[in-house]
Every structure is written in structure tokens, then in C-alpha cells.
Amino acid sequence: MKLLTKNTDYAIRALICLGNDRVGFMSAKQIADCQDIPYEYLRKILQRLIKEKLVESKGGGQGGFCLSVDPAQIKIIDIIETFQGDLQLSECMFRKKVCANRGHCVLRRNIQRIEKMITKEFDHMSIKSLLNQMEKPSCEDRLLKSMKKNATA
């Protein structure tokens, strides 16, 4: 069981990178390097974030990607639901069929209670709250190190 898929994880990491106020527009390559996300994979994630109006893009030499909304308004539960649907810990499936016991299963009721608790916690979490919890080095610092390393290579 995975609570977060790779798409969701990468999207959150990209949003955290873009949420750094000091950065401004960043290229997909810079975000990929900063967050150690495969470049082509990240481009698909960014396109979805643009479609959801969380990220905007600008072409040209000074272009790239930036947040369209305040990082405090981007709830983690919304990112989860965008990339993987409702949070589910169990599908109540048995051999690819819905379990016949699903309607009156005591385990299912407890799983649903836990899902609601987890959903509530993710609803209280935003990109801004994650940024506030980050320790140095920031994404910008990692990006500068990466650029210096690439320049000397």
C-alpha cells in the first residue's frame, strides 16, 4: 500500500521548489535538478499543474515555471486528489471483485475512519506550511550548487 503515488510526490516537490519566494521563474531542468526528479516525468507533472491553474509558464530566456497562487492556498489534499483521486487505504477487493462483506465489514468502517483522519491532516497542510518546516539548504541553495557543479564538469 502506498499512501502517495510517485506523481503526487513529484508534484509536491516541484511545488515546494516553486514556492520558494526568492526563486521566481524556474526552468523544468532547474526544478528537476533541484528535486532529483526525472526531467521528462517532471514535464508531464508540470503540464497537469498548469491545467489545474496552480502553475503558470512563460517562454523565453527568462521564462520557466512559477506558482499561479499563494503557496498557502495549495492544500496537500488537493494535490493528492488531483494526481490519485480520493485518498484510499483499501479498495476492499478480493481477486479483482468487490468484497461481498464490504457493506457490513467492521475493518472497512475502521479503515474509513482512518482515511478521514488522514484526509483531514492533509487538508490542514499546504505548500506554505511545508516550506515553513524546511531546513536549509533551500531549493535555491541546492540549485546554485548544482549549477556550479555542472559548470566545472
Burial of 66 (0-12, 13-18, 19+ CB in 10 A): middle
Residue 36 cell numbers, joined = 532529483
Segments of the chain scoring below 70 in pLDDT: 1, 21-23, 92-97, 102, 136-153
pLDDT at position 73 is: 96
How many helices, marked H, and strands, marked E, lie in the chain? 7, 4
Prediction pTM value: 0.81
